Amino acid sequence: MLPTMVARRGHDAPRKTVSARETQIVDVAMRIIATKGARRFTAQLLATEIGVTAGAIFRHFESMEAIVDAVVERMGAILFEGFPPEAPDPIEGLGLFFQHRTRTIRANPHVSRVLLSDHLSQAAGPAQAARLEEFKRRSRAFVVGCLREAEQDRTLSKEISPEAGAVIMLGSILFLAHATARITSGAGLERLADEVWAAIERTLRAPIMSGAPTEPSKRRQPRRAITTLDLPTRARISALVTEEITTNRYDAASGNLTLTAYQAEAHASLVRYYTDLYEAA
């Protein structure tokens, strides 16, 4: 743990608004810890990197330990911005989580480097190290929770358990965090992340039942009462519903009935409902 440079203020002191200089100090501190390690994280190096005197650093922070604490807090804010993602489907929720984490890696490469090393743990005290571990536990709990929900509603493939799916998800994010050091193009990393998620989703999702259309389903939006929508939107929805209900998709020559993506989804939902109902009986 880093030595205290100056005396701390009382624990009951009100939290002050973070200034631009404080944000700069925290960001540079994170970069130094990520790239140079805890042993080289000193007030003098921090001041040199920022372009101020060491004394100026302590006009904003009480100690080096307080700076490390602010680094941990900033990492948490970056990693869990907008968390947990909201989606009507648990696997879609995992996709939003995956996309957010990979975007975070691209925008904040030092965050992933700090998490993947023990540099910050060396610089931090026990409470700060515990918070870093809590970041990891919180992420894993969300992923496993989504997969268990998908298992319950039978959208998770029977070939994979929630625990194994979590390893694939979190391991892929870990790999992409390492890949940032080798792939300098943001577009290249974004394309790789999209390909990885597409492969993960194919692995996680239960196969579409026979007879369902092969076209990819559209991303569903959170449900809202139609009366809360504006009139043009309500008119478009009414037209779509009318077309879904009235169009005859039965081919008398072949004896096949073709379902739209929405009809296939509704049919699968009814199958799950009545299967659960009669199994419970």
- Crossing angle (nearest 10°) for helices 109-116 and 126-152: 100
**Domain-wise residue ranges, the chain:** 1-207, 226-280
- H or E element that contains 250: strand 250-251
pLDDT tens for the chain, residues 1 to 281: 444 333 333 333 344 456 889 999 999 999 998 888 888 889 999 999 999 998 999 999 999 989 999 999 999 999 999 899 988 889 999 999 999 998 888 888 888 777 777 777 677 778 888 888 898 899 999 999 999 999 998 999 999 999 999 999 999 988 887 776 555 555 677 888 889 999 999 999 987 654 444 444 444 455 556 667 777 677 777 777 777 788 888 888 887 888 777 777 777 777 776 676 665 54
Please state, in angstroms and rounded to a whole number, the distance separating the CA atoms of residues 136 and 119.
16
Answer for the pair 76, 40: CB distance below 8 angstroms, yes or no. Answer: no
Contact 29, 44 (CB under 8 A): no
Contact indicator for 120, 61 with CB cutoff of 8 Å: no
Domain 1-207: CATH superfamily is Tetracycline Repressor, domain 2 (1.10.357.10)
What's the token pair of residue 187?
């577009």
- pTM higher than 0.85, yes or no? no
CA–CA distances in Å: residue 147 to residues 45, 134, 219, 221, 269 = 45, 20, 18, 20, 18
- pLDDT for the residue numbered 38: 82
- Report the alpha-carbon distance of residue 205 to residue 226 in Å, rounded: 29
- CA–CA dist 265, 259 (Å, integer): 9
